[in-house]
Chains A and B, each alone.
Chain A
């Protein structure tokens, strides 16, 4: 029997802003239900790669495939339908500031799933309860802490029951306890619903605790220089990857 089709596949991707190349020749596959880590030093283009994978930035070259279907070759309407399969937790949570937490979560349900206001509200309450925010439905994003905003962002990202959840630096700006709690939540999500998770991070505890597979992007060479299980990458042939994962010096 052959290998099952990858859930997500990045094929020879080159990312550029105008004539400035950010990263080139990125290629990797993500299996269904896997937690995949995109890591690398600051400014290497990790978040930019995520933006290319979720349809926000068009690649200069290459393609992103979901279950073998190309994202960028598709027309705009098809690409919009792709979005129903994805959930994204942005670095700053990106909650809509003029809406309450409940409205933030129920909006995609009402607009994309065509649920009535009552149904959308019930599902939104469930999602908020899943991330430990029951009772905060009527709060505005400005009224809660950074950690709670991240969790509310996760509740919104989960609203449409996506097949793939993307996390952009989930631990950024969080204290160790909140960060740990979010990691546990990510793990629980994968275990309970089999969601494929793509994690953009450079937090070593999260990489080792959560990551099934990882890719390392290098800012200087502007390409990926290692790929594999995080524990294996500790013994990578690339000194920079070893140093990064051991938090050592080059």
Chain B
């Protein structure tokens, strides 16, 4: 017999030796528990490598005290190594429970799944991303088309959805958002006035803070901030609700009842959000100007009446109308994005989270993109 290999650690002891027939004998002793750590099979692998192929592997367990999955896991790995070298494994000396568990784990051979080799080259990855984006764009266009058809049916009075769902969506996208929209726009108005005041005071043009806030809020920031808030709030809610309905097969149930999910689920949400956004933006405009007024009056030597008069004289109707028109577009974008990711959600709980995240991110991006498009168009139209 050759000299025993050193023990792997103090608790789970492992000795490897060759017997007179050349078989590798692995002597297991001590405690083999998960709490004491998982022993390595490296020494067994080395011994198998150095022995001729087909050498028998014999486990002995005379000094084994306690064991759990740590032992079975070690045996499973060692048996795998032996199989790779064409070696038979003798487990007859192992505790009966460990032997049966090992037999059970080896009963069904690992299934080799055919895998398409993955091309990790940069060009391949770029190509994959581009193809995925192309497919998503096509799918999104399909969805948009379905929504336009549903809207046409609604205008002809033939769309089928529950009025109560429209009412719920109106409440959720309207009254439910009043608090957060008020807070954000009050603060945005105040911040805008503060930044403007600091700069304009240097030129003795403090009174123009009122102009800055009035035009900035009504034309641009009131609608933009409300759109972003709604993407995070209502868009996320639509994606989560519709995503959960998709996972629970509720959307399939609509289809098999001959009801169109786009008409039934998407249309009321798009209508509600695009109707409520202008109302919310009008409310946001008032609060934004109010926020500016607080800062203007506090920082500058202006009375509230004087500030509001300056606001009134600088504010033209077109600025307010532009903000309101934008808000309708933002409402459509937010609702469509939330509903799209909800209805196209996968079929697991994780997919709902993913759909919600994507709806918020894409909703915010699209709101900003639409705003940029409006800005360019309005500039070209001299509005």
Q: Which residue numbers of A lie inside 8 Å of B, CB to CB?
A: 51, 54-56, 80-81, 83-84, 86-88, 90-92, 94-98, 107-108, 111-112, 156, 160
| Nearest CB on B from A180, distance (A) | 24
Determine whether the beta carbon of A95 is less than 8 Å from that of B255: no
10 cross-chain pairs, A with B, having the tightest CB-CB distances, nearest first: A83-B258, A94-B249, A94-B253, A108-B257, A90-B249, A88-B256, A80-B258, A94-B250, A112-B258, A111-B160
B252 within 8 A of A: yes
Instruction: Tell me the nearest residue of chain A to B258, going by C-beta.
Output: A83
Determine whether the beta carbon of A56 is less than 8 Å from that of B258: no
Q: How far is the CA of A55 from the CA of B260 in the complex (A)?
A: 13
Taking CB atoms, residues of chain A closer than 8 Å to B260 are: 80
Q: How far is the CA of A240 from the CA of B197 in the complex (A)?
A: 82
Determine whether the beta carbon of B258 is less than 8 Å from that of A94: no
| Nearest CB on B from A66, distance (A) | 14
Q: How far is the CA of A84 from the CA of B259 in the complex (A)?
A: 10
B40 within 8 A of A: no
Determine whether the beta carbon of A88 is less than 8 Å from that of B160: no
Other 6 A-B pairs with CB < 8 A, given A90-B253, A107-B257: A55-B256, A56-B252, A95-B250, A96-B250, A98-B165, A156-B253
Determine whether the beta carbon of B253 is less than 8 Å from that of A88: yes
Q: How far is the CA of A9 from the CA of B33 in the complex (A)?
A: 58
Determine whether the beta carbon of B256 is less than 8 Å from that of A91: no
Most buried by B among A54, A88, A94, A160: A94
Taking CB atoms, residues of chain B closer than 8 Å to A55 are: 255-256
Determine whether the beta carbon of B248 is less than 8 Å from that of A97: yes
Q: Which residue numbers of B lie inside 8 Å of A, CB to CB?
A: 160, 162, 165, 168, 244-245, 248-250, 252-260
| Nearest CB on B from A64, distance (A) | 14
Instruction: Tell me the nearest residue of chain B to A85, going by C-beta.
Output: B258
Q: How far is the CA of A107 from the CA of B161 in the complex (A)?
A: 10
| Nearest CB on B from A149, distance (A) | 11
Instruction: Tell me the nearest residue of chain A to B168, going by C-beta.
Output: A98
Q: Which of A56, A98, A111 contacts B256 (CB 8 A)?
A: A56
Q: Which of A56, A87, A107, A112 contacts B255 (CB 8 A)?
A: A56
Taking CB atoms, residues of chain B closer than 8 Å to A84 are: 258
| Nearest CB on B from A97, distance (A) | 7
Instruction: Tell me the nearest residue of chain A to B247, going by C-beta.
Output: A92
Taking CB atoms, residues of chain B closer than 8 Å to A88 are: 252-253, 256
Instruction: Tell me the nearest residue of chain A to B254, going by C-beta.
Output: A96
Q: Which of B162, B165, B248, B255 contacts A83 (CB 8 A)?
A: B255
Determine whether the beta carbon of B248 is less than 8 Å from that of A94: yes
In the complex, 25 of the A-B residue pairs with CB atoms within 8 angstroms, ordered by the A residue number, are A54-B256, A55-B255, A83-B258, A84-B258, A86-B256, A87-B256, A88-B252, A88-B256, A90-B252, A90-B253, A92-B248, A92-B249, A94-B249, A94-B252, A95-B250, A97-B245, A97-B250, A98-B168, A107-B257, A107-B259, A108-B259, A111-B257, A111-B258, A112-B258, A160-B257
| Nearest CB on A from B90, distance (A) | 26
Taking CB atoms, residues of chain B closer than 8 Å to A54 are: 256
Taking CB atoms, residues of chain B closer than 8 Å to A56 are: 252, 255-256
Instruction: Tell me the nearest residue of chain A to B257, going by C-beta.
Output: A108
Most buried by B among A51, A54, A88: A88
Taking CB atoms, residues of chain B closer than 8 Å to A97 are: 244-245, 248, 250
Most buried by B among A54, A81, A86, A108: A108
| Nearest CB on A from B132, distance (A) | 12
Taking CB atoms, residues of chain B closer than 8 Å to A91 are: 249
Q: How far is the CA of A155 from the CA of B259 in the complex (A)?
A: 17
Determine whether the beta carbon of A83 is less than 8 Å from that of B250: no
Q: Which of A80, A96, A160 contacts B253 (CB 8 A)?
A: A96
Taking CB atoms, residues of chain B closer than 8 Å to A95 are: 250, 253
Determine whether the beta carbon of A83 is less than 8 Å from that of B253: no
| Nearest CB on B from A108, distance (A) | 4
Taking CB atoms, residues of chain A closer than 8 Å to B253 are: 88, 90, 94-96, 156
Taking CB atoms, residues of chain A closer than 8 Å to B160 are: 111
Q: How far is the CA of A116 from the CA of B52 in the complex (A)?
A: 85
Determine whether the beta carbon of B256 is less than 8 Å from that of A112: no
Q: How far is the CA of A111 from the CA of B245 in the complex (A)?
A: 19
Q: How far is the CA of A92 from the CA of B160 in the complex (A)?
A: 25
Q: How far is the CA of A87 from the CA of B250 in the complex (A)?
A: 14
Taking CB atoms, residues of chain B closer than 8 Å to A112 are: 257-259
Taking CB atoms, residues of chain B closer than 8 Å to A83 are: 255-258
Q: How far is the CA of A107 from the CA of B165 in the complex (A)?
A: 13
Taking CB atoms, residues of chain A closer than 8 Å to B258 are: 80-81, 83-84, 108, 111-112
Taking CB atoms, residues of chain A closer than 8 Å to B254 are: 96
Taking CB atoms, residues of chain A closer than 8 Å to B162 are: 107
